[in-house]
Structure 1
């Protein structure tokens, strides 16, 4: 376990979550390894309360699973989960884009441009993963399909762990993903609906392949 030293007295759950998240994404905890609250609290020099709250935050991101009476465990990376996530995204996202594309306003185009620009500049993997989600959600919100969007939100939460790990292990992932977002956006600006749908399909397919390759889960 890497030594990080004591955290400041003003430490919050977010600070502890940041430390633990970096460790998980860097592979410092093995799959099925339990993260003991008391050990983390002692190591970081904090009470168990922010540690417990941090683990709840990480569970919401899919980075740990909390088991009653046993603690939080780092879940196994699952090829089957990846394939199901991206298969469902391949169904939902083109549907949402078809419904949204006619309603995309110049204001939304400006928002998407800003997201892509920030995404290409940031070196922070957590910020980049958030901007990746922002691009997709901003694009689809105009579809006025709340049930489909809610379903997609759940998929994006499940995919977040793999997405951050992709970015942690490969800067090329960020460059390619941002370039593909830009291609989708350029098609929308030209009014090329089919081109946007084709580019989106290629993006989702590429992402599924890249996540398997990057984290070593290829068949």
Structure 2
């Protein structure tokens, strides 16, 4: 492999890592208690996560042995029910503008003492909600103009466990998906993409991804020893 090809391969892999990092930011938002961020976070996870393998395939015109490396990975992805389902979800968002999410709430305990754990309610509080369509919980407040808004908070597990799950899961994927939260599946999805990128780096650059504590560093950071 010439230095020119290696430099080009490095650029492609770097772009794929940047896109994976964007998908990871989506997962971070999805795992936050802010309901307004959760849905957009899930969308970013799905859309940018799918783009990782699209970018990787640009290596086909850069290195000669790309298909020899990628074909087994592609077959593995086609047989992985979670990976296939996430591709379908991404297509639903982009082509149909829809994403079916359901809520599961358990261990509900909403006494006065429990609410006190959340601190002082914001001014104009009218009530408390748990598990809205975005998976968030918090206070409903009345604004000066008479309209209502949501003030999201982190909900302690002592009050309730709220789990956001995918609805309308196809029969073939139920064993792999049902019973798992959206966050759990999102982590599984991005972890698999990270493994593919690690293999890609090793195969075409001969260098592993930079990680600290098992977490991949953003591609714009470099460890200096």
Tell me the TM-score normalized by structure 2. 0.29
Q: Rg bigger for which structure? A: 2
User: Larger helix proportion, structure 1 or 2?
Assistant: 1
Tell me the TM-score normalized by structure 1. 0.29
User: Larger strand proportion, structure 1 or 2?
Assistant: 2
